[in-house]
Amino acid sequence: MTVDIPLVNGTSYCTLTAHSKEAFEKTVKFYGDFLQLEGRSISGNSTLLFNGAVSLKLDLEIDEIKQKVAEAQYEQLKSTTITQDWRASVHESLVFNTANIQENKNYLVEENLPRQAYPTDLFPMQLYTLDPLGNVVGVTSTKNAVSTMPTRPPTSDESVTSSLVSKVPSYTDLKKAVPTSDTYPSLPASSNKPKKAIAVMTSGGDAPGMNANVRAIVRTAIFKGCRAFVVMEGYSGLVHGGPEYIKEFTWEDVRGWSSEGGTNIGTARCMEFKKREGRLLGAQHLIEAGVDALIVCGGDGSLTGADLFRSEWPSLIDELLKTNRITEEQHSRYKHLNICGTVGSIDNDMSTTDATIGAYSALDRICKAIDYVEATANSHSRAFVVEVMGRNCGWLALLAGIATSADYILIPEKPASSREWQDQMCDIVSKHRKRGKRTTIVIIAEGAIANDLTPISSADVHKVLVDRLGLDTRITTLGHVQRGGTAVAYDRILATLQGVEAVNAVLDSTPDTPSPLIAINENKITRKPLVESVKLTKSVADAIKAKDFKKAMALRDTEFVEHLNNFMAINSADHNEPKLPADKRLKIAIVNVGAPAGGINSAVYSMATYCMSQGHKPYAIYNGWSGLARHESVRSLDWKSMLGWQSRGGSEIGTNRVTPEDADIGMIAYYFQKYQFDGLVIVGGFEAFVSLHQLERARDSYAAFRIPMVLIPATLSNNVPGTEYSLGSDTALNALMEYCDVIKQSASSTRGRAFVVDVQGGNSGFLATCAALAVGAQASYVPEEGISLEQLSQDIETLAESFAKAEGRGRFGKLILKSTNASKALSAESLAKVMTAEAEGRFDAKSAIPGHIQQGGLPSPIDRTRATRFAIKAIGFIEAQQALISDARADNDGFNPDDKELSGTAAVLGVKGSHIVFTSIRQLYDFETEVTKRVPKIIHWEATRAIADHLVGRKRVD
């Protein structure tokens, strides 16, 4: 590629060369469509694309070798779309000014072409893609490609496309080109077209979060201009039919449901629906109610029934017509039934999804119960056998085992002979006791079996612990306590996002579309084929029945297997022979930097115990960089001293916000050299991110830093670049959610009362946005948007209308969440005063300041288990990078600090979409970070704001 006149604010003329006929034709079409250029053939091998201001010449020179090089470059760049800034990967790129960057973006979305947008995907100032020749092509709506002037926000009649969490449009559809009415709530203007009717039902065992799922489905359907129905009492309601069981719901009918446990529309087992006559009645009643699509929230049995119902639908309505139970018009109108599944199950036993609605709430109950039990066990030096749910799936037992550092677990996927499991358990418990542990916790899933399929009961485990080890042992069966209570924040948000996606899925579905199941992989909402997911789930139980346990484990998702391996590794610590030979064993330093966050201790504990099992020597740097520089605060970690760390809040090794340069980077290098560290793991927030950057930049001067270094993000703000999830953010979110639930209850007791809650998070609005979604706040104000007087005025009016329509005490209380840094002029207290004054007696507002409560107490199970997962991946990263950097440590003259491979050995571990990735700190710091604001340039949670606003009827002022 040659650029004749390269300009910062665009390219007026350039020449491109294609090396195959196919690439030539594709490139002509691409530039014609993307930049709206006219094409004119100059000769058989040349085409000119132009629009007056821009001229682009494309030449054809057939060359197979160069064509393969171009194709390889295209694929390589495409593979790094979410992990690397293309601008840093290529020597040159084409950048053009554009009058409407949203139009360019819409083309890329429609054609499913790779793209990178800056600073955000919602309102981009710069947009980059790849042409068919592998060139990076950009457009900008600013005066030049490095401008910091914000792009003009779209007007109300423009289409807005948000960054997607799903593989298919979901968040986009909530806001796309839908004008809102003038009255509360913010809904589409009425249309003369017949409205589609979408029904939702909950089936099978209840699960916390089902109500949030129903609320999201009902309100999203209404927002989309559809009629929303609920089917009471599950499939039994379909069989009975009539307005008592199939009810049309309004916007206000589901107010406040996010914070309620169980399922308000009921669930029941229905033997009648398993027979064809029952399904025939169900079809008749749906048609009589005018329902076009059905969304089912339940487990594998419920979803199997749903898919069977859809597959039989044509024959069912044919039979109904023949028996005169429906009319010809009804037969024609309801010829197809679209069905979608959202998985509500506390067992988390559905394949193809990382989490089911209710699973993490049940896990939260289990972990709290075990934390309580462990306190009394420690008092008496007792053993406890804790039985948890999980008939065919040991997920709850496994994750609880990791989160509470249990001594032993029994799950159906990994059975052993009666003698083997008894010997293994007694061996591990004995080793733990000999090293001074006073408590013994054994967790058993209700479906635990030996390899001859003989059930293993909690009484069996109790007998072994008493008879063989002589331990004072008690049994605790948690039972239905695991299902009870309100949903944790994760389940409320998961249920809400899946409900939104489910409505999008049924509206997108055609008669030929397979029934979708809404799943989540890492942080990404996806659609999976319902039939295949259910079939895969059932095949696990079939494999267990057939005693093919290896196949059962293989059918579980990779994360399950990874968790099991992690549990076994950290549980063995230094009790067994190390796995690695002596020459592969390393000295690894661990330091905490920044404010305390839930999960920090879990990460340190998991890293240290995993290091021990591998044969590495873990060292803790106490009290951060200042502790090292001033007091040489390096201590080796031993297993006994860390007992209980997995479930503790705060930071046991101490933490502060001091960076290496603040503390004395030369002294830090001296101690690194003295202890001969082979690797470093930093756990912390933005100060930890800056610390890693400083250490990586100092490698040229200090050879001691030429070691693999990795950052595990841990901050409630979730503002570390390179990841969509930070340890501590879930714990903080739960603490804030519980606080808001209590405040909302107080507000409900006084008619016309709203609370303005001050939310931490620095310059990141992540916590306020997610909490608003979880608790159903009427509005949230974040630093990324600020508080405009126009929006504040509109929010006050919307609140007043909402209070006017509220009926019943439970619907009076309203919440407004405000990030502390959302406005320098308005604190939570002053904002409440302004709202009260402007409401003119229609309602009043009070401020509420949760403060450091938001850091949480005990870390949530999500933060504990993810901390373990991240910790072990971090150690794996250090092990893998040793060979690459070992030569650089000794060669001062030949060390090249700008070598990409070497700089990549200092990385941030992060969750991006459906992947866990390691991204070079240099790449992140130089290209993806707003350093002065302490936030990443790309706001990954931005699309969630549109959903949070629309589900409470908030009107946005452009």
Q: Give the annotated binding-site residues.
A: 205, 269-270, 299-302, 345-347, 382, 389-391, 446, 474, 480-483, 657, 715-719, 753, 760-762, 846, 852-855, 934
Spatial distance between the Cα atoms of 522 and 706, rounded to a whole number of angstroms? 32
Annotated binding-site positions for substrate: 345-347, 382, 389-391, 446, 474, 480-483
Structure tokens at 300: 């594998």
Q: Choose among 621, 861, 594: nearest CA to 718.
A: 594
Spatial distance between the Cα atoms of 7 and 366, rounded to a whole number of angstroms? 61
End-to-end CA distance of the chain: 41
Pairing of strands 524-529, 516-521: antiparallel
Annotated binding-site positions for Mg(2+): 300
Pairing of strands 440-445, 408-410: parallel
Q: Choose among 12, 92, 15, 29: nearest CA to 59.
A: 15
Structure tokens at 950: 């629309």
Q: Choose among 607, 595, 656: nearest CA to 627.
A: 656
Q: Are 881 and 873 in contact (CB under 8 A)?
A: no
With a CB cutoff of 8 Å and minimum separation 6, the contacts of 683 are 590, 591, 592, 593, 600, 603, 604, 711, 712, 714, 727
Q: Choose among 957, 771, 745: nearest CA to 757.
A: 771
DSSP per residue, 832-869: HHHHHHHHTTS-EEEEE--GGGGG-SSPPHHHHHHHHH
Name residue 461's amino acid.
V
DSSP per residue, 80-107: TTTTS-GGGTSS--EEEE-S-HHHHHHH
What secondary structure letter does DSSP report for 224? T
Spatial distance between the Cα atoms of 138 and 92, rounded to a whole number of angstroms? 11
- Residue 347 designated active-site: yes
Mapped onto helix, strand or coil, the DSSP state of residue 19 is: coil
> From the DSSP assignment, how many helices (H) and strands (E) are in the chain?
30, 35
Mapped onto helix, strand or coil, the DSSP state of residue 872 is: helix
Name residue 80's amino acid.
T
Q: Choose among 786, 956, 946: nearest CA to 161.
A: 946
Spatial distance between the Cα atoms of 310 and 316, rounded to a whole number of angstroms? 9
List 206, 292, 307, 347, catalytic entry: 347
Structure tokens at 128: 């980059």
CB neighbour burial string for 109-138, b if at least 16 within 10 angstroms, e if fewer: eeeeebbbbbbbbbbbbbbbbbbbbbbbbb
Rg (CA), the chain: 29
Furthest C-alpha separation in the chain = 92
Pairing of strands 293-298, 197-202: parallel
Hey, which residues are catalytic here? 347
